[in-house]
Structure 1
Amino acid sequence: MIRITNVKLPLDHTPDQLQAEILATLKIQAEQLLDFTVFRRGFDARSKHKISLMYTLDVETYNDEALLKKHSQNQNIRPTPDMSYKYVAQAPENLTERPVVVGFGPCGIFTGLVLAEMGYKPIILDRGKEVRERTKDTFGFWRNRTLNTESNVQFGEGGAGTFSDGKLWTQINDKKHYGRKVMQDFVDAGAPAEILYVSKPHIGTFKLVGMVEKMRAKIIELGGEIRFNSRVDDLHIEDGQITGLTLSNGQQIHSKYIALATGHSARDTFEMLHHKGVYIEAKPFSIGFRIEHNQSAIDEVLFGKNAGNPLLGAADYKLVHHCKNGRSVYSFCMCPGGTVVAATSEEKRVVTNGMSQYSRNERNANSAIVVGIDPKDYPSDSPLAGIELQRQLESAAYVLGGENYDAPGQLVGDYLAGKSSAQLGKIEPSYKPGVKLTDLTKILPDYCLEAIQEAIPAFNKKISGFALKDAMLTGVETRTSSPVCIKRGDDYQSINTKGLYPAGEGAGYAGGIMSAAIDGIRVAEAMALAMNEAQ
């Protein structure tokens, strides 16, 4: 097949125009074209008054080879690459022990799935509940303020990514096409087929729930085992080699191959690892607030008269500002047409995050506006000092919000003016259980507050209305990424604990659904190769 890139057409083009562009690019007649599929579709909205669709197409003709030779100097016409996933190993028939995967979020799911597909029959442990029970607990907290510390936005089947916008793009180098496998597996589990070709694919929480269940069923069908309500409380290490683990119910599992895919909020697990001597470093992360605007206003600013076009969907944005005090402020986890959600996993703490459904049709757009920090900003030189800082900020937010899991909030205009908010403006906050208007400057360190106060007017120059006085700030955003890195070597094993495979976002090697899933595949491959070599 032939891959054609950079095909540009008007937003309102017809299917016939797309075919005509293929014929013109290849300089062939219609009868020479057998078929074509869309590999990627994005849009160029640099001019909101003239938005164009951009295509990458895979084309089949009667004579692909001759056409490729004819257009060999055209960088936009190349052979379609083989993007199929290639398994690196298969389990031997005499496999003596089973690998263990700790955590069943995006990373753990794909670690377990690929191990199962290669025949290794993994045992997968998750401290939380299966996804539908977990959803009941999570919505129960949002509605009734009843927190289950083992079943919430952070813990349970599907991981933190289940209650998110479900974004499926990443900037990592993916020469082996792991991302394509992830996307295809998602489609096979019930995701919309469009995620295979739209430039910014997403799924949304309700669709993710059903998909996770189907992927679980596939792992079980292939011989894997999944145990919920199974928190790992101890690791067994002998002479630097992992030999097994102990669960919270006292049960012990033997294995010399354990993948650790806990997610970024497994603070008690990080503490246990540090106590056991597994090498951990403090790493940078970011802190800040959630900001909300009317989605229709964002659409109008970015898309102009094209706002509302179904091919464009709800507009998103990505912003960054480098401040005078040396800090960087940026938008993070932007959720078009979504809601701000309560994301704590510990009692008497308030944490915000963002979530969207597939439709992205809620009233507000929300995004984290966060400031980058690093270990020199932490309260001590302990590898776990970032966790200590997170807890301090989340506890302060709990108190400022009224000590009932309401989040503290403030209008942007009041925040910039340095005064407490007393009543809402035009933007109704979406956070549940609720928002208490107050003065958010009482939460973050001064250098963060100053940076955000400088950044919001700067962002307003890029998106008119961003500094709207009625826009809503809600605090506090602290779970942007893991505050620790569990160091591993080129073989994906802990640098001082053989057989332990730190993986995904919690270990410091991913930042979102796609990168976590891809890291899970890489870890599964490393485990399989090591197990075969040991045989």
Structure 2
Amino acid sequence: MLRLTEVRLGLNHRETELKAAILRALGIPGPELLGWHIRRRGYDARKSGEILLVYTLDVEVKDEAALLERLQHGHHVTLAPDETYRYPVRAPANPKTRPVVIGTGPCGIFAGLALARMGFRPVILERGKSVRERTQDVWSLWRERHLNPESNVQFGEGGAGTFSDGKLHTGIKDRGHHIRQLLKDFVDAGAPAEILYISKPHIGTLRLVKVVEQLREKILELGGEIRFESRVTDILVEDGDVQGRTSAAGGRMPRAAAVRGVTLAGGETIAADHVVLAVGHSARDTFEMLYRRGVHIEPKPFSIGFRIEHPQHLIDVCRLGKHAGNPVLGAADYKLVHHCRNGRDVYSFCMCPGGQVVAATSEAGRVVTNGMSHYSRNERNANAGIVVGITPADFGSHHPLAGIGLQQQLEQQAYVLGGSNYNAPAQLVGDFLAGRASTGPGSVIPSYTPGVTWTDLSTALPDYAIAAIREAIPAFEKQLKGFAMHDAVLTGVETRTSAPIRIARNENFESVNMQGLYPAGEGAGFAGGIISAAVDGMKVAEAVAQKIIQT
């Protein structure tokens, strides 16, 4: 198989034109081309306003060696690399205990799937409900203001990514072909095949529900066990100095304790020498339990801000010009960043084309926003987080969990500003920039449900964050004309951009002071998105498998 790159065609080309372009690039007649498939498709927007599709293809020809010899000085034809993912080990015949995975977000699902494929029959514990039952609870908050603290946008099968855009692009490097494997797993579970090759793949919320169910069935077929409504309240620990934490100033590393199992909310204990902690970034009670148990936790930077909504057509025209609305390109997105005079960075986060702003709290008396799109991305508004980076120096305390306290404070303030009924506080961009309260919507109708309360958002975030966002929005206007439009809507608050903690681990993915505990994914501070979390879960599963084999 050969890999052919930089094949460029017009936006609305026909299938026959792609074949003709392959033949021209290889310099061969039609009968010598046995087949091809698309490895990647992106697009190149020219200054002229034209857009070209850019292909990378894997092609099969009759005489591969002769063609490579003839094209040896070419830069766009090489042997296609072997991108097969290979599981490193197989389980022994009679393992002493089964590994436990806590959480069924992308990290937990793919950690569990990898362990199951290697024959380790994992026990997977999820505090929330199965994805379909969970969906009903999510709608209950959005439509009726009823919050289930154990089954919501943050907790339940599929994790927080289920109620987002299902975005599958990532900036992480992956030489082990984990990404290729998990994308194939998504497709096998019902995701559209195009996610294997388009430059910014996404699945969308409705399709993700079915995909998650199929991944669950695969784990069960392979001997895994999944238990819902099974909240872990404690870890069983043996030996070691579990109270001694390694300080930032140094000092002797405490002798590592060892995990021997977990305790569930109902009092049941499950024995396990290997526990994968894939709890997501909102499992605050779990982080508190781990801290009490002496697990080494460090504060970590994260970001805070608002959701901003514009007409999707405005974004399409800004980004795609005369090609706005072309079905091949779909709804346009954007990625923005501004370095402020006060030293803060403001950037767009989790941009959701043709989507809606959603209620994403997991705790009573608090309001949190996030963004979501369906696969079609055909809602009237585009939305994105406009967030400000903060560091542990902003948390107001040196306690490892101080960032969680700041999140809770801001979410509680938003709840009160919204009317203490799960409405979100909202303001028109023009009013926000002018420093006056809003009294109602303009041309952009906010999509957040159960509803918004028009107010002044200047008290919703610390002063430095408000100042930074007020500076950034006009700066973004220079990149996207209309971004600072008066009637665009800001909805607060966005606080769960990532975990405000990191659970320290060593080069073998194991906690630095708790043997057998494997912090993983977003909740442990080692990922940021569906793909990076899933890849981290796979790598942690590999480490667990290697450890079991060695012992």
Query: Does the CA contact (< 8 Å) of 1:98 and 1:122 recur in 2?
Result: yes
Inter-partner Cα distance in structure 2 for 1:512 and 1:48: 34
Higher mean Cα deviation, 98-107 or 65-74? Answer: 65-74
CA distance in 2, matches of 1:72, 1:275: 62
Aligned equivalents of 2:157 and 2:24: distance in 1?
A: 49
Letter in structure 2 aligned against 1:96: K
Which secondary structure does the structure 2 equivalent of 1:462 belong to?
A: coil
**2:4 maps to which residue?**
4
Aligned to 2:513: 496
Q: Name the residue aligned to 2:138.
A: 138
Residue 18 of structure 2 aligns with an amino acid whose one-letter code is: L
Gaps of 5+ in 1: none
- Structure 2 match to 1:92: 92
Q: Deviations over 1:306-365 (max 9, x none)?
A: 111111000000000111111100000000000000000000000000000000000100
Query: 1: distance between equivalents of 2:46 and 2:361?
Result: 38
Instruction: Report what 1:376 is aligned to.
Output: 393
Which one of 273, 284, 288 corresponds to residue 267 of structure 1?
Answer: 284
Aligned to 1:65: 65
Partner residue of 1:291 out of 308, 320, 333: 308
Report the counterpart of residue 215 of structure 1 in structure 2.
215
2:76 is matched with 76
Measure how far apart 1:5 and its partner are. Answer: 1.1
- Percent sequence identity is 62
| Deviation of 1:73 (Å) | 2.3
| Mean CA deviation greater in 297-306 or 312-321 | 297-306
Tell whether 2:48 aligns with 1:31: no
One-letter code aligned to 2:338: H
Question: Counterpart in 1 of 2:497?
Answer: 480
SS in 2 for 1:405: coil
Cα deviation code 1:151-202 (max 9, x no counterpart): 0000000000100000001111101110001100000000011111111100
Question: Residues 242-294 of structure 1, C-alpha deviation per residue, up to 9 Å, x if partnerless?
Answer: 11110001000111100000000000000000000000000000000000000
Range that drifts further, 27-36 or 361-370:
27-36
Q: In the alignment, is the contact (CA less than 8 A) between 1:2 and 1:78 conserved in 2?
A: yes
Partner of 2:329: 312
Cα contact 1:48–1:302 (8 A) shared by 2: no
- CA distance in 2 between counterparts of 1:139 and 1:75 reads 53
The equivalences for 1:167-246 within 5 A come to: 167-239=167-239, 240-246=257-263
Aligned AA (1:183):
L
- Give me the whole-angstrom Cα distance separating, in 1, the residues matched to 2:92 and 2:178: 24
Paired position in structure 2 for 1:400: 417
Q: CA deviation at 1:442?
A: 0.8
Hey, what does 1:101 align to over in structure 2?
Answer: 101
Match of 1:470 in 2: 487
**Could you tell me which amino acid in structure 2 is paired with residue 118 of structure 1?**
M
- Which residue of the partner structure matches residue 408 of structure 2? 391
Structure 1 residues 231 and 338: alpha-carbon distance in aligned structure 2, compared to 1, 3 A threshold? same
Q: How far off its partner does 1:379 sit? A: 1.6
Q: How many residues align?
A: 534
Shift of 1:72: 2.3
Residue identity opposite 1:25 in structure 2: A
Call closer, same or farther: CA 1:170–1:70 in 2, change over 3 Å. same
- Mapped to 1, the partners of 2:175 and 2:76 lie a distance apart of 19
Q: In 2, distance between residues paired with 1:87 and 1:288?
A: 41
Find the counterpart in structure 1 of residue 154 from structure 2: 154
Q: Which residue of 2 aligns with 1:255?
A: 272
Shift of 1:75: 2.4
Deviation readout 1:129-162 (Å, 9 max, x if unpaired) = 0011100000110000000000000000000010
Task: Report what 2:342 is aligned to.
Answer: 325
Which of residues 437, 454, 457 in structure 2 aligns to 1:420?
437
2:507 aligned with 1:524, yes or no? Answer: no
Correspondence for 1:506: 523
Q: For 2:47 and 2:497, how far apart are their aligned partners in 1?
A: 31
Partner AA of 2:445 in structure 1: E
- Offset at residue 229 of structure 1 (A): 0.5
Counterpart of 2:244 in structure 1 is: none
Separation of aligned partners in 1, 2:123 and 2:48: 51
Q: Shift of the alpha carbon at 1:48? A: 7.2
Determine if contact 1:48/1:304 at 8 Å carries over to the other structure.
no
Task: Output the amino acid matched with 2:101.
Answer: V
Contact 1:379 1:388 in 2 (8 A): no
Partner of 1:165: 165
Deviation, 1:6, is 1.4
TM-score normalised by L of structure 1: 0.99
Greater CA deviation, 67-76 or 493-502? 67-76
Checking the alignment, whether the CA contact within 8 Å between 1:505 and 1:511 is kept in structure 2 is yes
Quick one: which amino acid aligns to residue 16 of structure 1?
Answer: T
Contact 1:48 1:306 in 2 (8 A): no
TM-fit CA distance, 1:46: 4.8
Deviations 1:471-493 (A, max 9, x none): 00000000000000001000000
The one-letter code of the counterpart of 2:56 is: T
Matched, 1:339 2:360: no
